[in-house]
Amino acid sequence: MRLFVVVLGAGWLAAAPAVAQDAAAGEKIFVQCKACHQIGESAKNAVGPVLNGVIGRKAGSVEGFNYSPANKNSGLTWDEATFRDYIKDPRAKVPGTKMAFGGVKDPKQVDDLLAYLKQFDATGKKKAALENAGRLAKM
C-alpha cells in the first residue's frame, strides 16, 4: 500500500509542471501590448513594431519601424527563450531600448502570451487557419 502511494505521488509530481500554453488567455494578456503593438492581417507599425511572425525573427528587422540603436544592434533573434527573458524586463535585457514597459513577470502569462503570438505568421495570418485550409483543400 505504501509503495502504491509513493508511486502515485511521484507520477503526480512529474505531471504537475507540464502546463499547456493557452492562446486564448494569451490574447487577453496581449491587451496590455496593444497600446504599442499590433498583430494580425491588418497590423501596422505603431509606437512599437508589428509583431506578426515575431518568434524566429531577428530583432530590429521590421521594415519601416524606427528602432533604437540598442534594439537594432542587439544581435537577438526572437526565439522562445529570448522572448521569455526580454518580456520579464525589456530594459534589463536590452539596455537603451525605447520599449517603456514594466514587463510580464508571471511565467504562465508569458507562456500564454507566447502561444498567442506564435499563432501569427509573418503576414499576420493565423497559422492554425492556414493549416486547416490546407487540410480542407486536400479533401
Quick check: is 120 in a domain?
A: yes
Q: What does each of the 139 residues of the chain score in pLDDT, given as a tens digit?
A: 444 444 444 443 333 344 578 999 999 999 999 999 999 999 999 999 999 999 999 999 999 999 999 999 999 999 999 999 999 999 999 999 999 899 999 999 999 999 999 999 999 999 865 454 444 455 5
Q: What's the domain count of the chain? A: 1
Under a CB-based contact definition with an 8 Å cutoff, are residues 39 and 115 in contact?
A: no
* CATH number where 92 lies: 1.10.760.10
- Asked if residue 43 belongs to a domain, the reply is yes
- How far out from the chain centre does Cα 9 lie? 33
Structural domain contains residue 14: no
Give one DSSP letter per residue of 6-71, joined into a string: HHHHHHHHHHTT-----HHHHHHHHTTTTTT---STT----SS---TT-TTPBTT--TT----HHH
70 located within any domain: yes
Domain that holds residue 58: 19-127
Residue 75 C-alpha cell reads as 544581435
Measured between alpha carbons, how far is residue 60 from residues 43, 57, 111, 135 in Å? 17, 9, 23, 35
In a domain, 80, yes or no: yes
